[in-house]
Amino acid sequence: MSPETACIFCHIVAGRAPAAKIVETEHALAFLDLFPSTDGHTLVIPKRHYENLFEADEETLPEVHLLARRVARAMRQALAPDGMMALQLNGAAAGQTVFHYHTHLIPRRAGSELRIHGREQADPAHLAALAARIGAELE
């Protein structure tokens, strides 16, 4: 089986798996994390499958990160967090669990616990409403 066939994010890109999508461009997609660390936890990915930063290509990587900036700004408008964590993990030893490149955007409140991964699955209806709220603030 090719990595793309087994990859949950490739299934989301292709519309074969559900996700609370915020926005997509030609080569990039932003959607809410199903196990959010905080409310609004978002992932920004290339539509093309590659595993990590080492494999990233020059065509899509800038687009992914420009979309991350655009979505981060919309999240700041919609959620008014005190800060925003933007981070990206490479390899299981670094904590990567889905092996399709992605940047996490995690809105944070002052003094809240520093965590990358959430423990509970979010309510899909809540995620859909949140995606619409963030999407409404996109420029």
Catalytic residue numbers read 102
The CA–CA distances, whole Å, from 4 to 1, 36, 48, 97, 110 equal 8, 24, 9, 15, 38
Radius of gyration of the chain (CA): 14
95 binds ligand AMP (CB under 6 A): yes
- Is there a contact between 49 and 98 (Cβ–Cβ < 8 Å)? no
Out of 100, 102, 104, 108, point to the residue binding Zn ion (CB under 5 A): 100
Question: Smaller CB distance to ligand AMP: residue 3 or 95?
Answer: 95
16 binds ligand AMP (CB under 6 A): no
Give CA–CA dist 76/91, Å, rounded.
29
75 binds ligand AMP (CB under 6 A): no
- Is there a contact between 99 and 7 (Cβ–Cβ < 8 Å)? yes
Out of 6, 35, 57, 69, point to the residue binding ligand AMP (CB under 6 A): 35
- Candidate ranges 52-60, 67-75, 76-84, 88-96; the one touching ligand AMP (CB under 6 A): 88-96
- The pair of structure tokens assigned to 2 is 């090719």
Residues 41-60 that bind ligand AMP (CB under 6 A): 43
Question: Smaller CB distance to ligand AMP: residue 89 or 131?
Answer: 89
Which DSSP string do the residues of 113-130 spell out, in sequence order? ---SS-SSPPPHHHHHHH
Question: Smaller CB distance to Zn ion: residue 10 or 34?
Answer: 10
- Is there a contact between 43 and 103 (Cβ–Cβ < 8 Å)? yes
Give contact residues for ligand AMP (rule: CB under 6 A): 8, 17, 19, 33-35, 43, 89, 95-98, 117
